[in-house]
Amino acid sequence: MSEKKLIVPRKLSGFMELPPYKQVVLDNMIDKIKGVYQKAGFMPLDTPVLEYSEILMAKSGGSIDKEVYHFKKGDTDICMRYDLTVPLARHVAMNANEITFPFKRYQIGKVFRGEKAQKGRFREFIQCDADIVGLDELPLVADAECLALVSKVFEALGLKTLNHISNRNVLFGYCDALGYSLITQDVLTVLDKIGKIGKENAVQELVNLGVKQEDCDKLISITLKSGNFGEVLADISSLCTSELYQKGISELKEVYSYLKAMGVDESGYILDIGIIRGQNYYTGTVFEAMVPDHPEFLTVCGGGRYDNLAGYYTDKKMPGVGLSIGLTRLFDLLDQSGMLPEFKLTNTTLHIIPMGETLLECLKLQSYFREEVACEVNYENRSFKSKMKEANRKQVPFILIVGENEVQSGLYSLKNMATGEQWQLSKEDCLAKIQESKNL
């Protein structure tokens, strides 16, 4: 008989898989983000991972088209969602008659992009989105609400961030005023990557597009304007009289006034004209949050205003604004930098060890304790010493030893694994002792 050939266990690159004790940390981060979103009045939404290709690809553009997982099942042309914003647009267009506007929703789910897997880039990753969608109009105070939400989310995660805010109309209007309206999108694509390619290379690429040398200097100069929101606003307000430029300035001033009214700490955000964001559906406010103490993290949250996204699916005007956190990437960055919150190797608070023929009694005790604390019975057929080692390795706070004498007396041996203290107590007193402990 031929030997069975084993398949080597492996997983696709670019797909995160965590050990359970780290998954607990990730789940806790998700719970904190959900809590912030819910307190701000956002309601949950879960859209399908798979969408019709004509829906998902209606307004993508750029490199995204090449990254989408695209296939056919029978005659059905299907894509896996690459973000949560386009499915949101499809949802509100489909359900506009039932939705109460402004529609405030959050969604936390996995998205998929078939890009090259490398450090900090995943093919499957969790996004944590919050969006506000209006019908016919959406006041700019919604932009400020999303910006304030960014501050609250990272405060809940215990992470100090700096939100870089801008308005795309400023650079669009500036390009128009200089006479480059036909190549504005190409110009902004170059300006968006100054930080990566440097000023000299940016100038060369702009010149290759047909931009005059003196205009290159002007475009790069305004793109690099960054700092205190009020001061930068005052500096750039009169640089250009273009109607579109002044619209951007006016919107920035209005959003700034709302942020101050909301009490958002001004040390947590700046005005940074170089924030452009590559997605072509942004039409006004744009922002990217970064971690000042860890510039290598780059952007940990981004978003902005999109006034025309749902236009591919409905004649109704549905402007929106939203934010997105790439949680898988953020978690990986924190993990690699040793910045994850403290975690335990188990959720179990009480580990019950049977001695002799007491398993049935231990299962009864497990049912009792599980009403209040996480509890498990070690029912493996191993020595007492090995069971204690296992509990210690898993960092279980409390051990309950149940032998025949304990069953008869109703007094059980409870041990605090952190302090080494041990007591003989009734099950009620054991529970009280566990609940009062600071080890939970």
Question: pLDDT (tens digit, 9 = 90+) per residue, 152-192?
Answer: 999 999 999 999 999 999 999 999 999 998 998 899 989 98
Question: For residue 194, what are the contacts with CB-CB under 8 A and spacing of at least 6?
Answer: 202, 220, 223, 224, 274
Transcribe 145-207 into DSSP letters.
HHHHHHHHHHHHTT---EEEEEEHHHHHHHHHHHT-GGGHHHHHHHHTTHHHHHHHHHHHHHH
pLDDT bin (cut points 50, 70, 90) of residue 279 is: low
Question: What's the average model confidence in pLDDT over 284-308?
Answer: 94
Transcribe 343-405 into DSSP letters.
--S-S-SEEEEE-SS-HHHHHHHHHHHTTTS-EEE---SS-HHHHHHHHHHTT-SEEEEE-HH
Classify domain 13-150+297-343 at the CATH topology level.
BirA Bifunctional Protein; domain 2 (3.30.930)
Question: What's the average model confidence in pLDDT over 136-144?
Answer: 96
pLDDT of residue 438: 56
Domain 350-436 has CATH 3.40.50.800: yes
Q: Which amino acid is at 350?
A: L
In CATH terms, are 13-150+297-343 and 350-436 the same topology? no
Judged against a pLDDT cut of 90, whether residue 301 lies above it is answered with yes
Q: In 3D, which of 47, 89, 46 has the Cα closest to residue 317?
A: 89
Q: At what angle do helices 20-39 and 141-156 cross, to 10 degrees?
A: 150
Q: What are residue 68's phi and psi, to 5 degrees? A: -70, 135
Judged against a pLDDT cut of 50, whether residue 204 lies above it is answered with yes
Question: What's the average model confidence in pLDDT over 305-324?
Answer: 90
- The four Cα atoms 84, 42, 282, 78 give a dihedral, to 10 degrees, of 20
Q: Which of 116-120, 126-130, 377-381 has the highest mean pLDDT?
A: 126-130
Domain parsing of the chain, residue ranges: 13-150+297-343, 162-290, 350-436
pLDDT of residue 210: 92
* Higher pLDDT, residue 121 or 135: 135
Contact 57, 66 (CB under 8 A): no
Q: Which of 10-14, 32-36, 85-89, 383-387 has the highest mean pLDDT?
A: 32-36
Instruction: List Cα–Cα distances, 352 to 126, 348, 361, 400, in angstroms.
Output: 36, 10, 10, 5
Q: Which two tokens stand for residue 93?
A: 């267009």
pLDDT bin (cut points 50, 70, 90) of residue 64 is: low
Q: In 3D, which of 131, 80, 170 has the Cα closest to residue 303?
A: 131
Q: In 3D, which of 190, 180, 189 has the Cα closest to residue 210?
A: 180
d(C-alpha 192, C-alpha 202), whole Å: 9
pLDDT of residue 439: 47
Could you report the per-residue pLDDT of 354-373, keeping only the tens digit for each? 999 999 999 999 999 999 99
Question: What's the average model confidence in pLDDT over 244-249?
Answer: 97
Q: In 3D, which of 422, 434, 426, 419 has the Cα closest to residue 370?
A: 434
Domain 162-290 has CATH 3.30.930.10: yes
d(C-alpha 42, C-alpha 131), whole Å: 8
Could you report the per-residue pLDDT of 207-234, keeping only the tens digit for each? 999 999 999 999 999 999 999 999 999 9
Judged against a pLDDT cut of 50, whether residue 408 lies above it is answered with yes
